[in-house]
């Protein structure tokens, strides 16, 4: 019963904070258009970098992720962001995101070279890959929030995220699953991966219907990321017992 009360009252508070911040910072929905265009230009340009293409892709992608997380952090901490925050955001968390990406790359390399060959027969390799991806997305689901709210190095950020999910998995996933379902039902978009920072553009974006669905997706996605930021802040700085105790006063 206590956990139900905690989920209800915590999300009631988070919802009010997220709605207020989203209304004041609605311009955040258009950052997705910039990230989409930047990513398209990046992929078009990659062949010109030859053997450095992989390195360039990781660095630029990390910079874009850093930029978005910094803007969300500005909204969570002071309820606003400006053009200067946008300019500075590309480097604020660059090293941390880069470091986490490298750890992820190294982990995937170990899995693909040492583990996958053992299960190469039949569909075992495919099934194992799906299981690993599911576990990573689940256990590290709060990694974006850990990056911009906790001052840890890349490895400790990953460890902290795992511990956070272990301690708060019910409180964290109940609202996140609901928001993901709403996004899918209204737009048909389903976000995968650990770092999420925009809704991808579709090839027929010039169609009025597709454009409206894209904007709707960005609205829901932006609200979700703000919501997650406030929820993480509350859950990571308190315990269930403390939250229930404080509501008595």
Residue bearing the bigger pLDDT, 33 or 111: 33
Cα–Cα distance for residue pair 29/36, rounded to 1 Å: 12
Q: What is the CB-side half-sphere exposure of residue 156 using CA atoms within 13 A?
A: 5
Backbone angles phi, psi at 122, to 5 degrees: 65, -150
Name the band, by pLDDT with cuts 50, 70 and 90, for residue 122. Answer: low
Q: Where are the domains of the chain?
A: 2-246
Global pTM exceeds 0.85: yes
Tens digit of each residue's pLDDT (9 = 90 or more) over 129-182: 888 889 999 999 999 999 999 999 999 999 999 999 999 999 999 999 999 999
Q: Which two tokens stand for residue 36?
A: 């989409």
**Burial of residue 130 (number of CB atoms within 10 Å: 0-12, 13-18, 19+):** exposed
**Which segments of the chain does DSSP mark as H helices, in order?**
2-24, 31-45, 53-78, 83-92, 94-110, 124-139, 143-149, 154-187, 208-236, 240-246
Distances, alpha carbon 189 to alpha carbons 17, 70, 112, 181, 213, in Å: 25, 24, 28, 9, 10
Least confident of 39-48, 111-120, 144-153, 211-220: 111-120
Mean pLDDT over the full length of the chain? 90
Give me the pLDDT at residue 171, please: 96
Give me the pLDDT at residue 117, please: 74
Contact 157/140 with Cβ under 8 angstroms? no
The residue whose two tokens read 């737009």 is 187
Contact 161/140 with Cβ under 8 angstroms? yes
Tens digit of each residue's pLDDT (9 = 90 or more) over 70-119: 999 999 999 999 999 999 999 999 999 999 999 998 888 888 887 777 76
Give me the pLDDT at residue 121, please: 61
């Amino acid at each position: 019963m206590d956990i139900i009360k905690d989920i209800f009252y915590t999300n009631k508070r988070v919802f009010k904070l997220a709605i207020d911040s989203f209304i004041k910072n609605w311009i955040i929905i258009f950052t997705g258009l910039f990230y989409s265009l930047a990513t398209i230009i990046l992929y078009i340009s990659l062949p010109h970098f030859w053997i450095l293409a992989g390195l360039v892709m990781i660095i630029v992608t990390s910079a874009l992720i850093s930029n978005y997380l910094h803007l969300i952090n500005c909204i969570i901490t002071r309820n606003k962001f400006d053009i200067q925050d946008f300019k500075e955001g590309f480097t604020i968390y660059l090293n941390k995101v880069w470091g986490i990406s490298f750890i992820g790359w190294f982990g995937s390399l170990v899995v693909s070279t040492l583990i996958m060959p053992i299960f190469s027969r039949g569909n075992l390799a495919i099934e194992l890959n799906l299981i690993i991806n599911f576990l990573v997305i689940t256990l590290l689901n709060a990694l974006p929030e850990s990056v911009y709210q906790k001052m840890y190095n890349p490895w400790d950020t990953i460890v902290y995220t795992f511990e956070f999910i272990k301690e708060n998995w019910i409180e964290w996933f109940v609202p996140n699953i609901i928001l993901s379902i709403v996004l899918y039902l209204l737009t048909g978009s389903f976000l995968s991966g650990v770092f999420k920072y925009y809704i991808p553009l579709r090839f027929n974006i010039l169609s009025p219907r597709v454009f409206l669905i894209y904007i709707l997706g960005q609205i829901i996605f932006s609200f979700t990321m703000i919501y997650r930021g406030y929820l993480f802040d509350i859950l990571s700085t308190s315990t269930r017992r403390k939250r229930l105790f404080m509501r008595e006063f």
